[in-house]
Amino acid sequence: MFKIKLGGGKTAEVEENMYWHTTSHIMAQAVKNLFPEAKLAIGPAIENGFYYDFDVEKPFSEEDLKAIEEEMKKIIKENYELERVELSKDEAIPFMKEKNEPYKVELIQDLEERRNHFFLQTR
């Protein structure tokens, strides 16, 4: 469990998986802010953190990684409200196509039919 700060000086405990999952979304947003042409692949929470696969023209440099970290801090300071949105497969595919995210489209298309709803965190 992690403790996170909420408005009004309150704190809440959240499961590690939820914490890492949300952090991966923050990193993805930071990368897209700094590198708009980057394509998102997968970014799952794992046992001790998370990772995210990006398709970029050139690998991230040390300077890029520092800039991504700083951008993440800016995003966190904005204190955006997170909203979980449920989309059907038929809704999720055109949504990701509109965002020009071919790997997300491919992942959604390849999922088993029994999992036909997808969740997005939006700000």
Q: Domains plus CATH for the chain?
A: 17-80 (3.30.980.10), 82-123 (no CATH)
pLDDT-based confidence at residue 13 (cuts at 50, 70, 90): low
Residue range 3-27: average pLDDT? Answer: 74
Q: What is the pLDDT of residues 107-118, one digit of tens each?
A: 999 876 545 555
Torsion, Cα 87 25 18 83, to 10 degrees, reads -50
Nearest to 43 by CA among 67, 68, 61, 17: 17
Q: For residue 104, is pLDDT > 90?
A: yes
How much is the pTM?
Answer: 0.78
